[in-house]
Structure 1
Amino acid sequence: MSHPLFLLPKPFGQLSHPLEVIRQFTPNWFAATMGTGVLSAALTQLPFPVPGLWSLAEALWCFDVVLFLIFGFLYAARWVMFFDEARRIFGHSTVSMFFGTVPMGLATLINGLLIFGLPRWGSAVMPLAEMLWWVDVVMALACGILIPFLMFTRQEHSIDQMTAVWLLPVVAAEVAAASGGLLAPHLTDAHRQFNVLVTGYVLWGLSVPVAFSILTILVLRMALHKLPHANMAASSWLALGPISTGAFGLLVLGADSPAIFAANGLPGIGDVAAGLGLIAGIVLWGVGVWWLLLAVLITLRYLRNGIPFNLGWWAFTFPLGVFALTTLRLGSVLHLEFFAVLGSVLVIGLATLWLVIMKRTLVGAYKGELFVSPCIARSRG
């Protein structure tokens, strides 16, 4: 009788050569680090104690770090080994948008360094966290400005082919802004705190208004041309991302604004920032509820005919995770049980989705079927 291990399919069996893993690697994979990182953070914010939950969340963050390093190595290797093919991404109207997942994935590592690294290793992690955050800022700005510039100058787009993936390069800046709000209070120097806080507000302004302009066009596109192809089914959840991150960013930036502004000679301004952040956070959360319910209805519509699995499924996770974090943060600040209960339900739903999507991702990666670069798909062989 054959041993079960010998019955397993050959690794990367659907690829013509193992090097195709590198040749076909795209930034889409970093969406998995976003979903894993946000679940790790969300598990630590649940309002009720669960034995072993902190250790599980920390293990998820460590797994997220490993994933990010592997993906970073593979994508860097592609640029070194297959430069001419790798640079075709700049002309691709869809895959280029996923550059934004790289800084957003990095932001989840930085947040985890603050959540798990500080208790474990102390303040020694802060120089690393601060340095990585500024790297994240530069990457987010590059994505948010250069990718739209390529859209305007090199790429071919049409309103009927538009999807919510247009948001990805733009949203990276507000994700960095939210991370800045989490980072600032842990810095020891008041001036550096102020720099990070003000930069966070600028990043928020660079991202959220632009994202809402894209959402406006998206609503028009959906009304005129209906739902996109089933391959892009999960993209309907991406719209929840900038709304939730915008709300969460204002909440965390405003939380420590009173102390940071006062320490830099601007007493009173921080109180205004905190108040506006709370009110705006509540309002944006309400907008998020609208998009969440709509995304659920759209997904149910797609499910009638089945949704083919691809890396785009990770779009279900990060927007839902940030919305859950925002909900739990509002519950903590407002002391309203409704937000705490709903946030907890959302985290449980997020964990269930993560398990399903990660399992299918690992299987698809093992078989090699998920390594497809649309930029060179015709030359695959």
Structure 2
Amino acid sequence: MKNKILYIFGSEWFGMVIATLAVSQVFFLVSKYLVNIDLKYTGEVFFGLGIIMFIVIFILWAIRGLTIHDKKYLHWNNLTRLSFIALIPIILFIMDHILIDLIGMSKLLAEVSLYNYFFSYFLALVLGILLGYRLYTKEIDKNEINYAIIIPPLSIGTSIFLATPLMGYYHGDIAETIYFLVLMGLGIFFFLYIFIGSIALSGHVSNKADSTLPTAMLPVGVSSLIIINLLSIMSFGKVIGDITLNFGTVEFISILLYGFEVWNFIVVFILVFRKTTFGYLSVWAYGFPLGLFATSTIKLESALKIPFLGDIFIFIWIVLMILWVYALINTYVFVDRIKHSVKA
């Protein structure tokens, strides 16, 4: 019975953590936008909840891998679960980013964050390489081809959240190294998304499995993350040679990408109400992309000074909260089913 309970704690549970951290991040952004301190405190509650979730889930996930001997290679043999492991570096990037935002940068925090940045970046890179290797060498089941497989390249692009405060603190060789890795990461996740995302889209169109449908929200996160990267890189100025991004060019590209975000969001939002996704843990996949969507929206609003983007930002925040609660209910239903199956 113990093993049966532990067995359910696969890497997909990390989706709960990143969705909760996304809610926390958006609460902080909304609190600044609406100038409401209570929303900031609410964001802190979600941040604390996200940390607790991560610790508990990581421990259970690790114990599962160490104790259930016949399941040690399950993640290696399943592209979806292998991909969800890449949520760990995303979680580390976002947690560190929020912590810096909350307490401010100090010498100690800067040093710890720098080590975390390099560790998480190369963990994301390694997981992306492993995914690529398995895509080329594994006999793939059709249920494994879904948008979850874009998480490893996506995780590399998420490094921008931690790179931004670090670039504001460090200079010289360290800043140049971070800047180089950010640009390299942007290239990796953009071009891999074109390649792997096409495969994922093909899988969704041909398979149409309800259990993986929520991962179709991830492309919203990809285009959002590109916008966040471009706006952040532009703010760095000249770091290596004469590399700079023109504000007008960034504006133009960002608006193009934003159109793709909106289209994807509307399509998946309609699917939320038309397709059955109840009782699946995959519904947590709505959280992180919507968090990125909200972040890119408010960054664009700040850069372009277009008022209606602020209204869209608030709308995304409300949708994110509704879907977070929906995912929590789904998790209860999922666990309840497992409990009954174990008793049976």
The reply to whether residue 321 of structure 1 matches residue 291 of structure 2 is yes
2:195 aligned residue:
213
- Aligned residue runs from structure 1 range 1-381, under 5 A: 16-17=1-2, 19-46=3-30, 47-118=33-104, 122-158=106-142, 162-176=145-159, 178-221=160-203, 225=206, 228-255=208-235, 257-258=236-237, 261=239, 266=241, 269-270=243-244, 272=245, 275-302=248-275, 306-361=276-331, 364-365=334-335, 367=336, 369=338
- Does the Cα contact within 8 Å between 1:234 and 1:312 map onto a contact in 2? yes
Query: What is the CA-CA distance between 1:219 and the residue it aligns to?
Result: 4.3
Query: What is the CA-CA distance between 1:204 and the residue it aligns to?
Result: 0.9
- Does the Cα contact within 8 Å between 1:101 and 1:168 map onto a contact in 2? yes
SS in 2 for 1:90: coil
Structure 2 counterpart of 1:204, which letter? L
1:9 aligned residue:
none
Distance across 1 between alignment mates of 2:178 and 2:314? 30
Distance across 1 between alignment mates of 2:51 and 2:97? 11
Structure ranking higher on relative contact order (CA contacts 8 Å, 6+ apart): 1
Alignment root-mean-square deviation, CA: 2.7
Distance across 2 between alignment mates of 1:112 and 1:230? 33
Query: What is the CA-CA distance between 1:72 and the residue it aligns to?
Result: 1.7
- Does the Cα contact within 8 Å between 1:328 and 1:344 map onto a contact in 2? no
- Does the Cα contact within 8 Å between 2:26 and 2:294 map onto a contact in 1? yes
TM-score, reference length from structure 2: 0.89
Distance across 2 between alignment mates of 1:100 and 1:355? 24
Structure 1 residues 93 and 215: CA distance shift in structure 2, 3 A = closer
Query: What is the CA-CA distance between 1:314 and the residue it aligns to?
Result: 0.5
Structure 1 residues 43 and 297: CA distance shift in structure 2, 3 A = same
Structure 1 counterpart of 2:60, which letter? L
Distance across 1 between alignment mates of 2:118 and 2:69? 27
SS in 2 for 1:44: helix
SS in 1 for 2:29: coil
Distance across 1 between alignment mates of 2:263 and 2:169? 37
- Does the Cα contact within 8 Å between 1:143 and 1:172 map onto a contact in 2? no
* Structure showing greater Rg: 1
Task: Please list the CA deviations of residues 173-224 of structure 1 after superposition, one character each: whole Å capped at 9, or x if unmatched.
Answer: 1112x2244233332333312211221110111111111233334445555x
- Does the Cα contact within 8 Å between 1:137 and 1:173 map onto a contact in 2? yes
Task: Please list the CA deviations of residues 108-167 of structure 1 after superposition, one character each: whole Å capped at 9, or x if unmatched.
Answer: 212212211327xx4432211121111110111011111121121124244x86321221
Query: What is the CA-CA distance between 1:93 and the residue it aligns to?
Result: 3.6
SS in 2 for 1:361: helix
Distance across 1 between alignment mates of 2:184 and 2:310? 30
- Structure 2: gaps of 5 or more residues: none
TM-score, reference length from structure 1: 0.81
Structure 2 counterpart of 1:170, which letter? P
SS in 2 for 1:198: helix
- Structure 1: gaps of 5 or more residues: 1-15
Distance across 1 between alignment mates of 2:202 and 2:134? 23
Structure 1 residues 193 and 279: CA distance shift in structure 2, 3 A = farther
Distance across 2 between alignment mates of 1:32 and 1:54? 21
Paired residues, number: 342
